Structure 1
Amino acid sequence: MKYKLTLVASSILLAVSPILHAEEAVSVFDEVVVSGTRSEESIKNVPNSIAKVTDESMSENLASDIRDAVKYEPGVSVNGGGRFGLNGFNIRGMDESRVKVMVDGVKQPVSYNPGSAEMRFNQNMYEVDTLTAIEINKGPSSTLYGSDALGGAVMLRTKNPEDLLEAGDDTHVGFKTGYQSAAESFKQTLTLANRTGDLETLLIYTHVDGNETKVHKDGADINGPDRGQADPYSYRQDNVLAKAFYQVNDTNRVGVTGEYFTRQAEGRLLSKEGYEMMPGYKYTNNYGVDDDYRIRLGLEHEWLADNVAFDTLKWQANWQKIKSDHDTQDHTDAKGLRNRNRNGVNNSYQLDAQFDKELAFASSRHQLIYGLTGSKENFVLNYTDTNLDTGVPNEKGAEIPEADSTQWGIFLQDQAFMFDDAFVVTAGVRYDSFESKPIDTTKYPDHKSSAFTGKLGAVYHFNQNVSTFAQFSQGFKAPTLQDLYYFYGMGAVYLPNPNLKPEESQSYELGLRANNQLGDLELVGFYNDYKNFIAEDYVGKNVDNKDVYTKKNIGKAKIYGAEFKGNLYLDEALGAPMGTYSRLSLAYAKGENKETGEAIETVAPLTAVLGLGYDAPSEKWGSVMSITAVASKKGDDWEKPSNGAEANIEAPSYTVVDLTAYYRPTQDLTLRAGLFNAFDEKYWLYQDLNGITESSKGIDRRTQPGRNWGVNLDYAF
């Protein structure tokens, strides 16, 4: 059965309706998640808000990337775009290094943005066609996942053979192809899975050819900084995911995973054509070439030990390498014809071991989880400028030094079920240690951080249909290499600060869940306090009259808000045609720097998503209309520049309508189509206007696509 979302008034009415207390119904809250407790558990027993985006919903929405995948989820968005692509998740106003992202439990490095137009190291090398689910743990999650989970954790779970195979020996073959007009992209995915005896295997290959995502057609198609259209940038993207699992005996299962993601892109940078930074630096003949890849190899083992210390041991070891290589070619009178190569490489070795033990007593049962995690990473930047007329290379100093980072942590969690499972208490504690060690120790000092974090949450089921939950949790984020060591001396001056303290958070969350045969809802309020929040600080003018900035720990910050999501089956509730449903989600948040009273600019404006859909009882066809409405972000919603500079431009409110439909002529064949931004609304995502003023150039180039469409064909047998 598919589970959809709801109308606010009807859903709240359901929560207090006597019917809700009398009828038992299957709900989205019976869905199993892993990220909330590090074990498979029904959402209804998790004491905080968890979002789960399934591969089915990604297919229904014709999602081409992770931004599409989560765009209807309240309180969650993905930043970035343009030449360098997406750069990470935003959860309730926390983004980038404050949200931990994992692929099959493998930690992904944080994005690096030096502020220049030639270099990014972005968190964007994911292929949605390989995913079985995206789980989003909202709020601090450091007790489960350690540093970087200050604002939440995102778990990208790739498919396993058992997700595609029937019981016993079986083979699955799937082929999917599609087109998206917004990026003029063609995509093909081949999926093969097999089980023969005790051996399971999986292979998924995806290939994409496309272009930089279009913006709204109103923008001027001209060269230069005022250009209002996307640059003519084309790309090729490939992803290979291979897995094999072997059941050694009744108690031991081993598996290996390999994944390789690669993306090559190139094109003319027309938006830079004719730009003049200063006399002698007028840029012409601008061209870019990018080559990015992510590769990981992993070994995992599950042992059903059933001994005194633990029932199950699961451990995995992984190696991952990510490289972003960018070439930017241009001509200036001062430098001639040149190529600026900027590349960054992250190598990591990671270990995760988890022990599970269930204890049963007369009046309660306990699910104990304990274990350890560790990782060692190396990050290095290499910059080289080459005069293309003479062929002479010139190595440039990077903004941060090469450094090794070591993290390790130990954790313990107890999930206690009491009063016939009506009362569920979850408590956890964790210790983390982090060390950053630059290779050049004579110039850059080491940095060490550590933290204890804890959480305590509870769920109380009034009956099988109504429950309430509450949780207190702590978060921790060690300073990143960019936080600690970033230095820049041209134009404005940015100074390093290796003495930064780790950021800390305390989160309070209270919610209500309810469901019956008419629908379900979740209403949650949250309040997050942050200590030692790391932010840019304006120091003043130096002797050369240049503005000087650095990073520092501001005393306190807070983000609070509320979210709602629910569904209403209109056929059951209002007698509409069978298969008709509605859905609604709302997200409100407010952020404040307690030291200055200024806003936290990464907090999203009020957002609502309303949907109306129909699934034919035959399951042969269906359609959904989704309406997304976002309030404006202006004035005091933005942080006021500390040096008296021009204020941030307003991010206007907007309403966008999307239409999707599917047709399934046979059980194995599905055709899907979508019309997005159906009324051709011209709009900006608020995060794309962060730091943009009225005098900024190329504002139209930051718009989202106008009316666009997509179609795909999925065949599996």
Structure 2
Amino acid sequence: MFSKPSQAHGQTPRRHKNAKMLRCASLAVLIVASAYSDARAEEPTADAADVIVVTAERRNARLVETPITITALTSDQLRKTGVDNLMDLGPVVPGLRMDKLGPAAQPTIRGITSNTSGPGSASNVAVYVDNSYIASQGANNFEIPDVTGIQVLKGPQGTLFGRNATGGAILVTTMKPSREIQANITAGLGTYGERLMKGYVTGGLTDKLSAMFSGSYRYTDGYTKNIVTGSETDGKYRGVNATGKLLYTTENDDTYLLTFVYSNTNDAAALTYRISPKYGSRSLGLFLPDQVVAQSPHQSSVGYKPRSNSEFYRGSFNAKVNLGDFATLTSYTSYFNEKFVEHGDLDGTVVPIFDIYFPVLDENYSQEFNLISKSGGALKWSTGVYYFHDSSSLPEMFINYDFNTNLYNNGVKTDAYAVFADATYDITPALHLTLGYRYSIETKKLRAIIPVAARGKHTWRKGTPRAVLRYDFDRNTNVYASFSRGFKSGNYNLSAVDQPPVSPETLDAYEVGFKHQGPAFDFSASTYYYDYSNLQVESFVLLPGNTALSTLLQNAARARIYGAEASATVHLADGLSAQLTGAYTHGRYRRYPGAISFQENPAGVAYLNVPVDASHNRMIRSPDFTGNAAINYERPVSFGTIRLGGNISYSSAVYFDAANQFKQRGFALLGLSAEWTSKDEHFSFLAIGRNVTDKKYVNYVNPITLGILDNDAPPATARITITYRY
């Protein structure tokens, strides 16, 4: 019923057409760059207060001269748009989706994503907090009470950030302890029973030792009503974060930072399902007699409240030592321990047909050393070594409570080693060449008891180069062309350990970009082309004989992605600015003959797994177009400062499966904010509204053989906060 016929033989090949489109788009960027150079060559440099510094190349650099497509968000921007959690980033960053599969956070950048979860699995977008890699997908759904900025790096970052940065990287930077006494506390109330409190306090203990403590608590009742039990708190959220830091600074500015983080997040909305009214006509729950089944938005009909909980401890020690005029040596040491639990109803009814509970235990540690040259001279370079060890296990799994219990005790251990170097040479004062290379070795060991006793070991090796040529028209205007490679290692499927491990993913990326920063107008644009091979895709399947559900982890052969994006910020008048960004992504599977589709079972209810050819279909979670328009106004008044803001984000249609059966149509979201700050800047009141027009849409469609399930996105919400600063 839902299968899509494969492309007819003899159709005109797309390779030459796509290459031609990329060349034309690249030429357009160059023409814009040349025109800009002629028109703005005498424009004064941007004021130092407006300069944004990023660390995308492992060293501090101005955003405008970093040859990577980056969205950099300050703490002020995050606060005004209501970004409390990493999962809130999607509407404010074009080309980025922040999806969840149960407790697993799965970002998508330019069509590059992952739908695999569980022990040993990792996102295709690497997340770093203060240079510590957060490997667990469950732990990437966390509160950020003391954030100073977030950088979203688009495109593979395999040379500088290594493993599993195929689609890009998200770099979160938090506050460091200060010698001066500072304090900030925020309290707020919102719709659906939301309660919020967060803040920090920092100060010097001695002339060289500073300390800081930050914390946050956020709770909502949830926006889903259970039509069976009458509960209005299905899908509740509770997030707790506590962080302590000690910073020691020597007389020659060497620094030693010790950090400890505790986080506990229960985001039950990620496991709150209803049977899809559009696709779920053969779902088993609809054929059970005398059952009340929810199919309307923000309703459920399960017999218990879902749970999706991640609790982790993270400790890190960062040291920076100045080696005179030669270089700076940095050391990043990190330890991480997490337990996340998924307890969900995958049939949508109160009957225990397919209620699943499983915990995942994860422990890892990493060590990285970087040697970075001091600025000055024609050659700037960085080099480093990296080690990562992870032990992740699925100790047990319960289906329908005690009715069908499997004691798994399955696990996978990972050891990853890498060495890298990256250097930029100024061929002339205006022409710069960057070359980089990383060599990675990753070994995974499988240990399993259920469903079959199994052991395995596999090692993958990969080199990920990087090359960039950048030309500066002036200090604030440049054009660049780059090649980079991303690598995601192979993995075992702990739900079906008799399957062989999947092969690593590899992505080769070509990009041409243009950047300009000025006092009245900022503009950047880029075009790109990706050649993507061995995509790792996971699907629910019915085992032979229709005896039980399992998962199939497979490689989806090849994909091709190309697109363009642009961002412009205009300072229209004193205190008034506007920003417009847009991203076009053409992501298609080039060859995927064994994709899983769900067909109606003619012999009864539920669905059959039918292989289809998904070649030339749209890639999952890859909308063709995303955009964002924002306007901000700030005006001093006699009693303080008034700030008003509005933000509209748009996404075109997105598919949730490779067979292109299940999708969400295009939609737009409106966000509004209003803030008053006192003249002494000690107090401020902020009101935020998100999804103001109450757009009904789904986060994702979860297809399993017993039913097709919808997970709803949040409705319209509002919040008011008061902040005190010292």
TM-score normalised to structure 1 length: 0.80
Counterpart CA distance in 1 for 2:399 and 2:554 is 36
Residues 1:337 and 1:540: Cα distance change in structure 2 (over 3 Å)? closer
Contact kept in structure 1, 2:702 and 2:709, CA below 8 Å:
no
CA–CA distance in 2 between the matches of 1:330 and 1:534?
A: 23
What displacement does 1:559 show?
Answer: 1.1
Offset at residue 620 of structure 1 (A): 0.7
2:472 aligned with 1:454, yes or no? no
Which SS does the other structure have where 1:589 is aligned? strand
How has the CA–CA distance of structure 1 residues 655 and 15 changed in structure 2, closer, same or farther, with 3 Å as cutoff?
farther
In structure 2, the CA distance between the partners of 1:246 and 1:56, relative to structure 1 (3 Å rule), is same
Give the match for residue 424 of structure 1: 432
Question: What is the CA-CA distance between 1:440 and the residue it aligns to?
Answer: 4.7
CA distance in 2, matches of 1:159, 1:279: 55
Q: Deviations over 1:508-546 (max 9, x none)?
A: 111111233331111111111112223358999946699
- Residue identity over aligned pairs, in percent, reads 18
**Residue 585 of structure 1: aligned partner:** 581
Give the Cα separation in 2 of the matches to 1:13 and 1:37. Answer: 23
Equivalent residue in structure 2 for 1:109, among 127, 135, 152: 135
Partner of 2:11: none
Aligned to 1:558: 560
Structure 2 match to 1:673:
687
SS in 2 for 1:620: strand
The code of the aligned residue for 1:670 comes to S
Is 1:53 paired with 2:73? yes
Q: Is contact 1:358-1:365 (8 Å) kept?
A: no
1:48 and 1:672, CA in 2 relative to 1: closer, same or farther beyond 3 A?
Answer: same
SS of match in other structure, 1:71: helix
Describe the shift of the 1:509–1:222 C-alpha distance in structure 2 as closer, same or farther (beyond 3 A): same
Amino acid at match of 1:678: V
Superposition deviation, residue 329 in structure 1:
9.5
Instruction: Give the one of 394, 401, 406 matched to 1:396.
Output: 406
Residue 222 (str. 1) matches residue 227 (str. 2): yes
Partners of 2:132 and 2:81 in 1: CA distance: 27
Offset from partner CA, 1:458-477 (integer Å, 9 cap, x none):
22111234211111001111
Which residues in structure 2 correspond to 1:110-129 (within 5 Å)? 110-111=136-137, 122-129=138-145
> Partner residue of 2:236?
234
Aligned AA for 1:59? R
> Structure 1's 293 and 253: CA in aligned 2 closer, same or farther, altered over 3 A?
same
Is the Cα contact below 8 Å between 2:132 and 2:316 reproduced in 1? no
CA distance 1:336–1:240, change in 2 (3 Å)? closer
Amino acid at match of 2:168: G
Asked if the contact 2:127/2:140 (under 8 Å) is kept, the reply is: no
Conserved in 2, the CA contact under 8 Å of 1:47 and 1:426?
A: no
Aligned to 2:474: 463
AA partner of residue 23 (structure 1): E
1:433 to 434, 441, 449: 441
Aligned length: 643
Find the residue that maps to 1:402 and give its secondary structure: strand
Q: Write the mapping of 1:115-514 to structure 2, written as runs, cut at 5 A.
A: 122-161=138-177, 165=178, 169-181=179-191, 183-195=192-204, 196-212=206-222, 214=223, 222-223=227-228, 232-250=234-252, 252-264=254-266, 276=285, 285-289=303-307, 291-306=309-324, 311-326=327-342, 341-358=357-374, 365-383=378-396, 385=398, 396-398=406-408, 401-420=410-429, 422-440=430-448, 443-482=454-493, 485-487=494-496, 496-498=499-501, 500-514=502-516
Structure 1 residues 547 and 599: alpha-carbon distance in aligned structure 2, compared to 1, 3 A threshold: farther
Cα 1:444/1:100, change in 2 over 3 Å: same
Q: Does 1:621 align with 2:642?
A: yes
**Cα distance change of structure 1 residues 139 and 281 upon mapping to structure 2, 3 Å threshold:** farther
Distance in 2 (CA, whole Å) between partners of 1:269 and 1:474 is 35
- Kept after mapping to 2: 8 A contact 1:669/1:715: yes
| Structure 1 portions without partners, runs of 5+ | 1-10, 112-121, 489-494, 572-577, 642-646
CA–CA separation in structure 1 for the residues paired with 2:486 and 2:348: 48
Q: Is the 8 A contact 1:601 1:690 kept in 2?
A: no
Return the letter of the residue paired with 1:426: T
Indicate the residue corresponding to 1:602 in structure 2.
621
Letter in 2 for 1:50: I
Q: Is the 8 A contact 1:170 1:194 kept in 2?
A: yes
Amino acid at match of 1:669: F
> Counterpart of 2:520?
518
1:438, distance to aligned residue in structure 2 (A): 1.8
Contact in 2 for aligned 1:88/1:123 (Cα 8 Å) = no
The 3-state SS of whatever aligns with 1:602 is coil
The answer for unaligned runs of 5 or more in structure 2 is 1-30, 115-122, 276-282, 292-300, 592-614
Tell me the distance in 1 between the aligned counterparts of 2:568 and 2:440.
37
Query: How many Å separate the matches in 1 of 2:629 and 2:569?
Result: 10
What per-residue deviation string (whole Å, max 9, x for no partner) do you get for residues 272-329 of structure 1? 799749989989742445543111112222211237xx52111021111011134569
Alignment correspondent of 1:652 = 665
RMSD (CA atoms): 4.0
- Relative to structure 1, the CA distance from residue 57 to residue 144 in structure 2 (aligned partners, 3 Å threshold; closer, same or farther) is same
Contact 1:305/1:312 (8 A) holds in 2 = yes
Change beyond 3 A, Cα 1:506–1:290: closer
8 Å contact kept, 1:178–1:712:
yes
SS at match of 1:597: coil
Structure 2 distance, partners of 1:123, 1:102, is 11
CA distance in 1, matches of 2:558, 2:352: 49
After superposition, the Cα gap between the structure-2 partners of 1:569 and 1:12, relative to the gap in structure 1 and judged at 3 Å, is farther
* Aligned partner letter, 1:439: R
1:352-403 Cα deviation digits (max 9, x unpaired): 110122486xxx5212211111111100112254998xxx8985144x8212
Aligned CA distance change for structure 1 residues 614 and 264 (closer, same or farther; 3 Å): closer
Structure 2: which amino acid aligns with 1:505?
A: L
Map of 2:15 onto structure 1: none
CA 1:353–1:418: 2 relative to 1, 3 Å: same
Matched-pair contact (CA < 8 Å) for 1:272–1:286: no
Q: Give, as a single letter, the amino acid of the residue that structure 2 aligns with 1:463.
A: D
Quote the Cα distance in structure 1 between the aligned partners of 2:536 and 2:708.
29
Alpha-carbon distance in 2 for matches of 1:547, 1:340:
11
Taking structure 2 as the reference length, what is the TM-score of the superposition?
A: 0.79
Distance 1:281 1:397 in 2: 34
2:630 is matched with which residue? 611
* CA deviation after TM superposition for structure 1 residue 179, in Å: 2.5
> 2 CA distance for matches of 1:332 and 1:233?
14
